[in-house]
Amino acid sequence: MTVTIVGAQLGDEGKGGVVDLFGDATDVVVRYQGGDNAGHTVVAGGEEYKLSLVPSGVVRGKTGVLGNGCVINPETLFEEVDALRERGLDPDVRLAKRAHVILPFHRELDGAEEAAKADSDSEIGTTGRGIGPTYEDKIGRRGVRVGDLLNEDALRDRLEYLVEAKRAIYEDVYGFDASETDGAFDIDAIHEQCLAYADRIRDEDLAVNAGDYLADRIADGDNVMLEGAQGTSLDIDHGNFPYVTSSNPTAGYAATGSGLGPTTVGQGEIVGIIKAYLSRVGSGPMPTELDGDQAEYIREEGGEYGTVTGRPRRVGWLDMPMLRHAARANGFTGIAINHLDVLAELDEVNVGHAYERDGERIHTLPATTEAWRDCDPVMKSFDGWSAFDPAVVADAGYSALPDNAQAYVEYVEAELDTPAYVLGVGPGREESIVRQNPFE
């Protein structure tokens, strides 16, 4: 069967930790979208692993697949794999031949577009990893795929067209000088680099026809976890465009981005990962955003600094319209609510229960960012709960969670009409209350 893990908010909800939590029952973990813009953390055995591309199941020695829906920078992938090997892991990572490749000029173009938008204060605050430009070339039918790296002549032909086109945009549209980059627009240098990637891909037998590979594993009775990156409000279709990433984290893409059919994914579980408050890296509206001492407190308690960029994350109260939207767009069969420990010791915990806009009360997300910006949150207040020992509570189970935290959890479950399978009370593998294992 499959279990799909999806971020319900704006990324960094603790998806990596939940993948690891259920990793024991999993045989293969698949990333179906995004690239090294993700930063997924697994804390196990006293070690902390921050993973950008390698699927989080690797910490438990499970096979990882980067599906066709991903964009892969071989440079950062190999660095990550080598660093994990140095730490004693043996990552078994397969790359979909249909996945697109992030090349050096994609990063340059990512930066150029952000710089151009900065003049009007409309930059997205991307991770600078070249994600958007690479998906542009995919949709524009001119990108390079993993399978192309393995065909020297086809690769050269693609690069001849692609690099020239991109150089023209970099210079003529954005006004930068390509020769001032470190060979990012040099066809010969890129070709040579790609052939070196291809050698390693061949030597380590990394490339697979991922859809067939996964279907065969499922036919053999294996369990497959689909590990979403980013989150629903960063989705290119369902998020708050244009302050989004360039792919679909939502569950429908778990099928498209892995090559498994929607019926296969739909027969499994779809677990929405929720942070008990809200965090955001990058620009865009955030009606329940906090500032001042309260924001500072939660940021420090929750360690809210970007895994990839180190930027302080914006923080706010839980936003229920955002979660109702996510539950509908993904069809969650269960949820995990993480970071309940971070909110401990506050006198009161607030949530944005609904929005008010032009005198009207609304319970889900408006479709345009401008309308969202106009929304005032209608707050609901909960009594806070005192600090507790995460390991003890995780061990003793749900009834050991303070009553007020239980009331908070039950409110979210009722509003989303979805059971909480997991309650996160700390970053470690042993610091979650598991009420249901989705594989059982």
Applying CB under 6 A, the residues found at the interface with ligand IMO are 7, 11-12, 37-40, 124-127, 129, 131-132, 229-231, 234, 245-246, 281-282, 307
Cis peptide upstream of residue 242 (ω within 30 degrees of 0): yes
Q: Which of 153, 21, 75 is nearest to 426 (CA)?
A: 21
Question: Two tokens at 416?
Answer: 């989303």
Residue 166 within binding range of ligand GDP, rule CB under 6 A: no
Residue 430 and residue 267: Cα distance in Å, rounded? 29
Q: How far is the CB of 79 from ligand GDP (least distance, A)?
A: 19
When the beta carbons of 129 and 429 are compared against ligand IMO, the nearer one is 129
User: Residue 1 in contact with residue 197, Cβ under 8 Å?
Assistant: no
Question: Two tokens at 131?
Answer: 């994600």
At 148 the three-state DSSP class reads helix
Site for Mg ion in 313-372 (CB under 5 A): none
Which of Mg ion, ligand IMO, ligand GDP, none sits in contact with 245, Cβ below 5 to 8 A by type? ligand IMO
When the beta carbons of 111 and 384 are compared against ligand IMO, the nearer one is 111
Q: State the amino acid at position 279 in one-letter form.
A: S
Write the binding mask 306 to 335 for ligand GDP: x where contact by CB under 6 A, - elsewhere: -x----------------------------
At 354 the three-state DSSP class reads strand
Q: Within 13 Å of residue 309, how many CA atoms lie on the same side as its CB?
A: 16
Q: How far is the CB of 314 from ligand IMO (least distance, A)?
A: 10
Q: Which of 10, 14, 72, 184 binds ligand GDP (CB under 6 A)?
A: 14
Which of ligand GDP, ligand IMO, Mg ion, none sits in contact with 232, Cβ below 5 to 8 A by type? none
Q: How far is the CB of 283 from ligand IMO (least distance, A)?
A: 6
Q: How far is the CB of 155 from ligand GDP (least distance, A)?
A: 32
Q: Within 13 Å of residue 18, how many CA atoms lie on the same side as its CB?
A: 38
Residue 304 within binding range of Mg ion, rule CB under 5 A: no
Q: Which of 8, 12, 159, 329 binds Mg ion (CB under 5 A)?
A: 12
- The full length of the chain comes to 440
When the beta carbons of 298 and 346 are compared against ligand IMO, the nearer one is 298
Residue 247 within binding range of ligand GDP, rule CB under 6 A: no
Q: Which of 52, 232, 288, 307 binds Mg ion (CB under 5 A)?
A: 307
Site for ligand GDP in 409-438 (CB under 6 A): 424-427
Q: Which of 214, 199, 198 is nearest to 55 (CA)?
A: 214
364: Cβ–Cβ under 8 A, 6 or more apart, which residues? Answer: 321, 324, 325, 328
Residue 36 within binding range of Mg ion, rule CB under 5 A: no
Q: Within 13 Å of residue 298, how many CA atoms lie on the same side as its CB?
A: 25
Site for ligand GDP in 17-56 (CB under 6 A): 17, 39-41, 43
User: Residue 65 in contact with residue 96, Cβ under 8 Å?
Assistant: yes
User: Residue 325 in contact with residue 232, Cβ under 8 Å?
Assistant: yes
Q: Which of 432, 230, 228 is nearest to 338 (CA)?
A: 432
Q: Which of 108, 113, 319, 341 binds ligand GDP (CB under 6 A)?
A: 341
Residue 282 within binding range of ligand GDP, rule CB under 6 A: no
Write the binding mask 252 to 291 for Mg ion: x where contact by CB under 5 A, - elsewhere: ----------------------------------------
Which of ligand GDP, ligand IMO, Mg ion, none sits in contact with 37, Cβ below 5 to 8 A by type? ligand IMO
When the beta carbons of 249 and 334 are compared against ligand IMO, the nearer one is 249
Q: Which of 150, 7, 23 is nearest to 89 (CA)?
A: 23
Q: How far is the CB of 143 from ligand IMO (least distance, A)?
A: 16
Question: Two tokens at 10?
Answer: 């704006």
User: Residue 271 in contact with residue 438, Cβ under 8 Å?
Assistant: yes
Q: How far is the CB of 247 from ligand IMO (least distance, A)?
A: 8
How does DSSP assign 30-74, residue by residue? EE-SB-TT--EEEEETTEEEEESSS-GGGGGT-EEEE-TTBEE-H
Q: At 422, which helix (H) or strand (E)?
A: strand 420-424
Q: How far is the CB of 7 from Mg ion (least distance, A)?
A: 8
Q: At 286, which helix (H) or strand (E)?
A: none
Residue 68 within binding range of Mg ion, rule CB under 5 A: no
Sole window of 11-19, 82-90, 129-137, 355-363 interacting with ligand GDP (rule: CB under 6 A): 11-19
Would you name the residues annotated as active-site residues?
Answer: 12, 40
User: Taking the alpha carbons of 182, 187, 188, 190 in that order, is the dihedral positive or negative?
Assistant: positive
Q: Which residues bind ligand GDP (CB under 6 A)?
A: 7, 11-17, 39-41, 43, 303, 307, 338-339, 341-342, 424-427
